[in-house]
Amino acid sequence: MSLASLIRLFSLAAIWGGSFIFMRIGVPVLGPWWLIEFRVALAAIFLAIVGRILHKQLDLKTHWRHFLILSLFNSALPFLLFAYAAQTLSASLSSVLNATAPIWGAVIGAVWTRTALSLKTLSGLALGVVGVGILVDFDPSMLQADAMLAIAAALAASFSYGIATNYTKTAKAIEPFANAQGCMLVAALMILPALGFVPIPSSVSPLVGISVLMLGIVCSGVAYLLYFRLIDDLGATSALTVTFLIPVFGVAWGRIFLNEAVGWHTIFGSVVVIFGTILVTGFSIASLRTVKSGVIPS
């Protein structure tokens, strides 16, 4: 892995780890629906501007069914579920639960292809369950009302990412930038009608406004550009490394900016979940080689 790719990898992990901080700041004021609509709409606008500069074409008319499926399971649904969970769960806990996405992806893939799970995969799945159990049983946020519902929402969001991952393996090959732009645009259009049924935010503080801008432009728009560049440089398998790094930054940012408690359960539970994910995905350091991949990432 080149130094430039390593910098991109850690930058992306830091950005996506920060998204849980911005959701924690924005969701109490805006609510999940308005927050995520702002997120995907800002990302769509940003990517449209970049696409215009780079002369990228978005053939929405031809690929609208693909964008509809990808937007639902890779953006709109998981973003909304994590935003709902952010009303109760700490940024640290949400970022670790996000790391279970590859585990769900492996299980869904096995069911999808009717393939028996290997002993290694089953061991990783068991470790993932144990890690989540450690986090949930000892996390202070679990004392709040609706905590279990929030946990279920976060795990459902990761499950949705697993569906998107398996869908992209069989979907028609589409240029990566078009995937990013189309995904954000259709997600914004998908969520828009629901805003008529939720209260309009009365006032937004500068901090919330900055958090929304960061969530939309940086954590979605810029992050997509970084991720697809990593896919192009390293291949989809090696780029998966970012999944293991996001909880590190999520926990760190939660402690630094929101003064969230980081107990032994946070560290130990995170390590168990990440190790379980590594077993399920079959990831190894040796896989960090510069290769190309035709697989479209989620």
The DSSP secondary structure of 62-84, one letter per residue, reads: HHHHHHHHHHIIIIIHHHHHHHH
Range of lowest pLDDT (16-25, 41-50, 235-244, 281-290): 281-290
Query: pLDDT per residue over 242-281, tens digit each?
Result: 888 899 999 999 999 999 888 888 888 889 988 888 888 7
C-alpha to C-alpha distance for 69 and 46, rounded to whole angstroms: 22
Has residue 290 got a pLDDT over 50? Answer: no
CB 275 within 8 A of CB 127: yes
pLDDT of residue 7: 87
C-alpha to C-alpha distance for 250 and 90, rounded to whole angstroms: 10
Classify residue 15: in a domain, yes or no: yes
Q: Pinpoint the alpha helices (H) of the chain.
A: 3-54, 60-71, 77-86, 91-98, 101-113, 119-138, 147-170, 176-191, 206-213, 223-234, 236-239, 241-258, 264-281
CB 243 within 8 A of CB 104: no
Classify residue 158: in a domain, yes or no: yes
Look up residue 249 and give its amino acid. F
Distance of CA 111 to the CA centre of its chain: 22
Classify residue 27: in a domain, yes or no: yes
CB 280 within 8 A of CB 121: yes
Q: In angstroms, what CA-CA distances link 55 with 36, 48, 58, 180, 250?
A: 27, 10, 10, 15, 35
Mean pLDDT for all residues in the chain: 86
pLDDT of residue 297: 37
Classify residue 297: in a domain, yes or no: no
Classify residue 294: in a domain, yes or no: no
* Total of domains in the chain: 1
Classify residue 258: in a domain, yes or no: yes
Per the confidence metrics, is the pTM higher than 0.85? Answer: yes
Query: pLDDT per residue over 106-135, tens digit each?
Result: 888 888 888 888 888 889 889 988 988 888
Query: pLDDT per residue over 194-231, tens digit each?
Result: 999 999 888 899 999 999 999 999 999 999 888 877 76
Query: pLDDT per residue over 13-39, tens digit each?
Result: 999 999 999 999 999 999 999 999 999
Domain ranges, residue 191: 3-287
